[in-house]
Chain A
Amino acid sequence: MLSLQETPERKLRVATVSLAGCFGCHMSFLDMDENLLDLFELVKFDRSPLTDIKHCGSCDIGFIEGGVCNSENVHVLREFRNNCRTLIAVGACAVNGGLPALRNQLDVREVLREVYFEQPGVVSSTIPNDIELPLLLDKARPINEVVRVDYFIPGCPPSGDAIFKFLTDFIYGRTPRLDYPLIRFD
């Protein structure tokens, strides 16, 4: 039998993370104001800066802010891909590389030298280095160059309303659609 559902049968599990991003997309997420309350009726958070859970369990949605600029980003992104049924790239950095990708024109060795030796006022004789520190990739990448990505929400950042519309469309089984007013920024 098909029946109209007022709400999904169970709460969907959502994990979120900011890779090479600025947490702006997460701020925008919080900026959906009272819609947050409605959303919390529908979803439950797994790994996320909101919960401080450190590793991702089995989830329905992975919400990725930021691109991939170092080896840790790769590991985290792979963890999300392995555990989330659906992966969503949120915001310009995750979609295109965004601001961190501005360094892609430069050699990463030159970038490190410039930052740790050449900048006026920098007193340093070494580039911070420890086995605990992730290495930088030669270029910052959008996440769909590293793993398969199911959906993209553009914007820098996407508005809270856009994120809410997208997630609720998805949760109710509608193909997510952001109409023009939700993706225009001028």
Chain B
Amino acid sequence: MSLVNSSAGGVLEPILERYSRNPHYLMQILRETQEHLDFIPQWAVGYLAEALALERTQVQAVIDFYAFFYDSPHGKYRILFSDNVTDRMQGNAALLSRMLSKFGLAQGQVSGDGLVSIDTTSCTGMCDQGPALLVNSYTVTRLSSQRIDQICELIKGQTPLKEWPAEFFRVEDNIRCKDVLLSTEMVNGQALKRAVELGPQGMLAEMKASNFRGRGGAGFTTGVKWEVCKNAPGEMRYVVCNADEGEPGTFKDRVLLSSFSDRIFEGMTIAGYVIGASKGLVYLRGEYRYMLEKLQATLEARRKTNLLGKDILGQKGFDFDIEIHMGAGAYVCGEETALIESLEGKPGRPRIRPPFPVTNGYLGKPTVVNNVETLAKATLIAQKGGTWYQSLGMKLSTGTKLLSVSGDCDRPGIYEYPFGVRIAQILEDCGARNAMAVQVGGAAGTCLARHEFGRKIAFEDISTSGSFMVFGNNRDMFEVARNFVHFFKHESCGFCTPCRAGTTLMCDLLDKIANGKGTDYEMNELSRLYQLLSTASHCGLGQSAGRPVNDTLQKFRPSYDRRLKQKDFVPAFDLDAALAPAREIMERDDIGAHLGTDL
């Protein structure tokens, strides 16, 4: 026992020390533990629980909640194929089975020698350069059969990840269309200096004058959010950057984080200056692990130039610093209160609102949670003024929006447009010649058919967090909806029954229809479940989980109908086969030991 503990201490103590044995860093401690040990063994659970003064079950609950934490061996190389519908369209299924057969494994199985496991995961945000996979949380893009074969060889040769070809891990920005954010130059510190000149009230006034609304999807007015937080009672305040970009088909935050991170950090610092916070937290999704070191280097450079740290820009008492927290594969953590729970080292279950984070956020303190794009754009408002910004875009949707365009088009990538741009314009620009449908806003968004391509991207019309997936004429929209609903089932946090059970039931119904056993009964049930999910779920995940089905049922009904049986009802399973085990043990085969298919 002492032997185990001393070796346990050998690995875990430095990690625990780095995080000052603070249980709020449990997620980070578990991630680093797994990076050392390939999984989180039971002895480590016990050791960490004791060291952090937590119950063992609290540690276990966090491991169980997040898809990227393993409490049993999952191999030295843990492969997760991104399984968004765009990866499917790029042929990930064939590549997955190719890799499985090379190792003679079933999906989710760990090889006998403990070398490798292969499974799928939700969208990894590489839709413009997929199919993609994660190996031990690091992203590999542009998969092809050749690349899969090379990866299999590297794994068989037990080549460390560091020695794999850098080309495998190359992530392109693919910026295709620039507007004010992506084309305006900024010297680091420029926007912050301007904010300091204006003073906290002055900067807040600019934010309010801009009428700028948050870019994470909900579209709350950012200036108002900052003001409420600033005025909320409390000693400590926090700025949180939501970089948990999990909505399938969204990758604009990835590009901002990798090429415009100074703007994001500067935006956080401005927010901190306005509301009077001294600490900022970036919640970076686990799928973007590859960016962590680079982002930390950027933070370090900003500290060296006094853009972070104490007395920033010589302003006495303007102290602000930023930490990066990594997520571990949970879409629901994009919801701000779930994200805060996760930052506190707990399973990411959405809280009951109100109270809202602006008054009771991180550690119960007033907290501003803003999307990556929101914070980046705050720097632009500081640079150029709120009135200028307010003149761009539409009345209730000022400024520009970054769109992540993927799917059936010639030029997938990032497009920045003023609000009010029409769907047809975007389709033309990205080279989508035969688009039949566009899914705007991700799996939780809106499915638009051709007759709606005149509609606009704006809070007044089609609001979006930035995902824009194009589906060509030959695509099967039933399968698109089924992919999304399976995504929601996988990502449901399990807290409320309508969502936990409802997403499962919806998957079962769609699978039954896909298996050719659907009838009108299932179609009615789908509509009923959609109503239930959208009205009774605790958070936005469950409330929107039925939307892809509802939209495609309205707009692509024949893709459902052609799968249906012209019957009243058909069971999902084979009744006669269900009697087979009993027939076997009873050694019977008479007519009474069989069931026909007809009523």
A137: nearest chain-B partner, CB-CB: B578
Q: CB of A135 within 8 A of chain B?
A: yes
Give Cα A148–Cα B590 distance, bound, in whole angstroms. Answer: 28
Please judge, given known A-B contacts A71-B592, A74-B595, A145-B571, whether A109 and B585 are in contact too, CB under 8 Å. yes
Give Cα A27–Cα B537 distance, bound, in whole angstroms. Answer: 34
Interface residues in B571-597 (C-beta closer than 8 Å to A)? 571-573, 575, 578-588, 590, 592-593, 595
Interface residues in A76-92 (C-beta closer than 8 Å to B)? 78, 81-82
Question: Hey, which chain A residues are within 8 Å of B592, CB to CB?
Answer: 71, 131-132, 134-135
Shortest distance between the CB of A102 and any CB in chain B (Å)? 17
B586–A129 touching, CB < 8 Å: yes
Give Cα A112–Cα B592 distance, bound, in whole angstroms. Answer: 19
A131–B582 touching, CB < 8 Å: no
Give Cα A145–Cα B592 distance, bound, in whole angstroms. Answer: 21
Give Cα A74–Cα B577 distance, bound, in whole angstroms. Answer: 13
A109–B568 touching, CB < 8 Å: no
Residue from the set A107, A113, A146 with the largest chain B CB neighbour count within 10 Å: A146
Give Cα A78–Cα B582 distance, bound, in whole angstroms. Answer: 21
B residues contacting the other copy or chain, number (CB 8 A): 24
Q: CB of A53 within 8 A of chain B?
A: no
Question: Hey, which chain A residues are within 8 Å of B568, CB to CB?
Answer: 148
B599–A82 touching, CB < 8 Å: yes
B584: nearest chain-A partner, CB-CB: A109
Shortest distance between the CB of B523 and any CB in chain A (Å)? 12
Give Cα A127–Cα B593 distance, bound, in whole angstroms. Answer: 15
Give Cα A147–Cα B572 distance, bound, in whole angstroms. Answer: 10
Interface residues in B429-473 (C-beta closer than 8 Å to A)? none
Shortest distance between the CB of A81 and any CB in chain B (Å)? 6
Q: CB of B388 within 8 A of chain A?
A: no
B575–A136 touching, CB < 8 Å: no
B584–A129 touching, CB < 8 Å: no
A78–B588 touching, CB < 8 Å: no
Q: Could you say which of A127, A131, A139, A148 contacts B585, with CB atoms under 8 Å apart?
A: A127
B524: nearest chain-A partner, CB-CB: A148
Residue from the set A74, A132, A136, A148 with the largest chain B CB neighbour count within 10 Å: A148
Shortest distance between the CB of A156 and any CB in chain B (Å)? 16
Give Cα A108–Cα B583 distance, bound, in whole angstroms. Answer: 11
Give Cα A136–Cα B569 distance, bound, in whole angstroms. Answer: 22
Shortest distance between the CB of A154 and any CB in chain B (Å)? 12
Question: Hey, which chain B residues are within 8 Å of A109, CB to CB?
Answer: 581-582, 584-585
Give Cα A34–Cα B354 distance, bound, in whole angstroms. Answer: 47
Question: Hey, which chain A residues are within 8 Å of B593, CB to CB?
Answer: 71, 135
Q: CB of A138 within 8 A of chain B?
A: yes
Shortest distance between the CB of A60 and any CB in chain B (Å)? 17
Q: CB of B521 within 8 A of chain A?
A: yes
Give Cα A146–Cα B582 distance, bound, in whole angstroms. Answer: 18
Question: Hey, which chain A residues are within 8 Å of B590, CB to CB?
Answer: 131
Give Cα A10–Cα B575 distance, bound, in whole angstroms. Answer: 38
Q: Could you say which of B519, B579, B580, B585 contacts A112, with CB atoms under 8 Å apart?
A: B585
Shortest distance between the CB of B81 and any CB in chain A (Å)? 30
Interface residues in B518-575 (C-beta closer than 8 Å to A)? 519, 521, 568-569, 571-573, 575
Question: Hey, which chain A residues are within 8 Å of B586, CB to CB?
Answer: 127, 129, 135
B569–A148 touching, CB < 8 Å: yes
Q: Could you say which of B572, B573, B584, B599 contacts A81, with CB atoms under 8 Å apart?
A: B599
Shortest distance between the CB of A70 and any CB in chain B (Å)? 8
Q: Could you say which of B571, B578, B580, B599 contacts A139, with CB atoms under 8 Å apart?
A: B578
Interface residues in A104-142 (C-beta closer than 8 Å to B)? 107-109, 112-113, 127, 129, 131-132, 134-139
Question: Hey, which chain B residues are within 8 Å of A138, CB to CB?
Answer: 578-582
A146–B580 touching, CB < 8 Å: no
Q: Could you say which of A82, A127, A137 contacts B579, with CB atoms under 8 Å apart?
A: A137
Shortest distance between the CB of A132 and any CB in chain B (Å)? 8
B598: nearest chain-A partner, CB-CB: A78
Shortest distance between the CB of B597 and any CB in chain A (Å)? 11
A146–B575 touching, CB < 8 Å: yes
B567: nearest chain-A partner, CB-CB: A148
Question: Hey, which chain A residues are within 8 Å of B581, CB to CB?
Answer: 107-109, 138
Shortest distance between the CB of B567 and any CB in chain A (Å)? 9
A146–B571 touching, CB < 8 Å: yes
Interface string of B157-171 (1 = CB under 8 A from A): 000000000000000
Residue from the set B572, B573, B578 with the largest chain A CB neighbour count within 10 Å: B578
B592: nearest chain-A partner, CB-CB: A131
Q: Could you say which of A71, A129, A145 contacts B572, with CB atoms under 8 Å apart?
A: A145
Give Cα A132–Cα B583 distance, bound, in whole angstroms. Answer: 14
Question: Hey, which chain A residues are within 8 Å of B582, CB to CB?
Answer: 108-109, 112, 135-138
Question: Hey, which chain B residues are within 8 Å of A136, CB to CB?
Answer: 579, 582
Please judge, given known A-B contacts A131-B592, A135-B586, A138-B581, whether A78 and B599 are in contact too, CB under 8 Å. yes
Q: A109-B585, A129-B588 are in contact. List 19 more A-B contacts (CB 8 A).
A: A78-B599, A81-B599, A109-B584, A112-B582, A112-B585, A127-B586, A129-B587, A131-B590, A131-B592, A135-B579, A135-B583, A135-B588, A135-B593, A136-B582, A137-B575, A139-B578, A146-B571, A147-B599, A148-B519
- B contacts, CB < 8 Å to A: 519, 521, 568-569, 571-573, 575, 578-588, 590, 592-593, 595, 599
Can you list 13 pairs linking A and B with CB atoms under 8 Å apart? A71-B595, A81-B599, A112-B585, A127-B586, A129-B586, A134-B592, A135-B579, A135-B588, A136-B579, A145-B571, A145-B572, A146-B571, A148-B569
